[in-house]
Amino acid sequence: MKLTRKVSTLAILLTAISGAASADFVGLNIGAAQWMPDISGSFSSTGAGSVNLNSDLGYSDQTSTSLSVSFEHPIPLVPNVKYQGYDLNSSSSSTLSTQLTFDGNTYNASTDINSTLDLSHNELVLYYELLDNWINIDVGLDLKKFDGKVSISDSSTTSSITVDETIPLLYLAARVDLPFTGLYVSANIQQLSVGDNSVEDTTLMIGYETSVGLGIEGGFKTFTLELNDASNLNTNLKYDGLFLNGYFHF
């Protein structure tokens, strides 16, 4: 997923929101974030051995960008809406120390390979505010739509599995404002566990918002993805690292 695609999507959403908000407008938050996670774990195709991101493919860390917009309104029973897009596209080159198999193809030891791990996704969060004062609590549903791929290639062969999954997660967000300072602490937790599949997306932050709505927040974000035979792909992946977000709230 390219950043330009996210900008286009964000522009379309903002146009739609501004046309619908008018007199009942309450809150709009627009943000841009950078995340610097370490990557670890493994993946495999069904019936094949696991491929380790670090020891087999040479992954270590990456920088991910995201854009977000959220819209809150006073209409009863209608949820508030938040969109966020994450660019999680990584690539690596390595020389195999052992033989591995992926998507029906075998790559021998000492082979030079290239790999791509693309777990880019869009999020649509529908949520309700349970509290909205110096303590804020939101509860809802997060729909994560993955649009990426996992691939391995050498000079003659390419193995690739498309990641095209929509995963619903429970969404919980909490924020506590420190009186008269503009400072706050907050946490976002999105989680699902069904059978052998589980997804968890957690962000812990401390932030500062000015009286005109310009703010900055930073903290630590963790994302784990365990899938069992999702489109012939199994994953046990973890991204975790520092997170920084700038936003305008009006």
**Cβ atoms < 10 Å from Cβ of 25:** 15
The whole-angstrom separation of Cα 145 and Cα 121 is 5
Q: What is the pLDDT of residues 179-236, one digit of tens each?
A: 889 999 999 999 987 777 889 999 999 999 999 999 999 999 999 999 888 888 999 9
Measured in whole angstroms, the distance separating CA 67 from the mean position of its chain's CA atoms is 11
Could you tell me the residue range of the domain that residue 34 belongs to? 3-249
Q: Sign (positive/negative) of CA torsion 10, 12, 14, 17? A: negative
List, as one string, the DSSP characters of 171-193.
EEEEEEEPTTTSEEEEEEEEEEE
**What is the tally of structural domains in the chain?**
1
CATH code of residue 99 = 2.40.128
173-178 contacts, C-beta under 8 A, 24 or more apart = 173/127, 173/136, 173/137, 173/138, 174/135, 174/136, 174/137, 174/138, 175/135, 175/136, 176/134, 176/135, 176/136, 177/134, 177/135, 177/136
Q: Tell me which residue of 118, 116, 96, 112 sits closest to 154, measured CA to CA.
A: 112
Q: What is the pLDDT of residues 120-132, one digit of tens each?
A: 999 999 999 999 8
E strand or H helix that includes residue 16: helix 3-21
- In this prediction, residue 13 carries a pLDDT of 46
- List, for the chain, all residue ranges whose pLDDT scores fall below the cut of 50: 1-4, 6-7, 9-24
The whole-angstrom separation of Cα 40 and Cα 133 is 39
Entry pTM: 0.84
